A = this chain, B = another copy of it.
């Protein structure tokens, strides 16, 4: 015989609160409703659940057994409600985030770790991609948030973009690079060193080409290409190679003291790093919460970087 779990809940409530009226109140119903439910249950089971004509309602053995199961059902229902609640407040769920590889590895992953300290139930699914691919994934609904450099002026329809950092680059090197110990740098100083090239489809690749042209380096020697930030960092810190990286990436790595930026002013692209989303309204609470977190954290980071920049002498 299949029993309605709600009936078992009611039994548990009645037994635990010691009366029909109280039980009804406990479960949020009117007294006649539970009275009738009990009567129906008794008729269906074919056995009394309470001793009739006794005023402090006395449950049957059978009733007590069933109430035990009802208690479990109530407990499961409560935790289910709690699950929904945490989900609705954004404390549970999944965020699918994508971004350009170097920036994700160098900046975002640290922020994610911080976010998860306060949101252990939120699962982050990270993927890498460049802007066209990211946009495609956003449109297809396979990505909740993209973090990438974008020119806000040329934003296509159907996207929302919140800029968080200027897309400023630096010439990066290992922290023991000989050029760091020199005074004002000139073209002749830089020219001898080999370069690490980002993937050709990366925005950084274009940036590097522009920079090299601007400072007059013509015959670039590419010693390494195709690696992620981890590989680039390893090679930079164990060689005299140079590369172009977002300033924020070098800034975040300052703690580890493996990367450094050459004190030479270079041109900046017309891009902003920011948070790109499709329809921001349709996002679930977890995604919204994550976005808010990223935005405020970037706000802080932006301020710190600006302060740091003012304390640094940039030379031409």
Contact = CB atoms under 8 A, between A and B. Distances in A.
Interface stretch (A58-66, A128-136, A259-267): A58-66
A268 interface: no
Q: Which of A28, A80, A93 has the most CB of B within 10 A?
A: A80
A123 B80 contact: no
A66 B47 contact: no
A76 B62 CA distance: 15
A79 interface: yes
Nearest to A41: B84
Interface string A52-96: 000000000110011001101101110111011101100011100
Given A77-B69, A77-B73, A94-B61, A3 B84 contact: yes
A76 B3 CA distance: 10
A45 interface: yes
Contacts of A47: 87-88, 284
A84 B66 contact: yes
A314 to B, nearest CB: 47
A69 B78 CA distance: 9
B83 A8 contact: no
A83 B123 CA distance: 40
Contact of A61 (B4, B70, B123): B123
A58 to B, nearest CB: 12
Nearest to A6: B5
Nearest to A284: B47
A73 B2 CA distance: 12
A69 B61 contact: no
B81 A3 contact: yes
A247 B80 CA distance: 64
A9 interface: yes
Interface string A9-31: 10000000000000000001000
A61 B93 contact: yes
Q: Which of A9, A87, A88, A94 has the most CB of B within 10 A?
A: A87
Contacts of A83: 62, 65-66, 69
Contacts of A66: 80, 83-84
Residue from A46, A65, A75, A94 with most neighbouring chain B CB atoms (10 Å): A65
16 contacts: A1-B85, A2-B77, A2-B81, A3-B81, A5-B9, A5-B73, A6-B6, A45-B87, A47-B88, A47-B284, A61-B92, A61-B94, A65-B80, A70-B76, A73-B77, A76-B76
List 8 tightest A-B contacts by C-beta distance, closest first. Answer: A5-B5, A69-B80, A72-B76, A69-B76, A65-B83, A73-B76, A61-B94, A73-B73
Given A45-B88, A46-B88, A47-B87, 12 more contacts: A1-B88, A5-B5, A5-B73, A45-B84, A65-B83, A65-B92, A66-B80, A66-B83, A69-B79, A70-B76, A72-B72, A72-B75
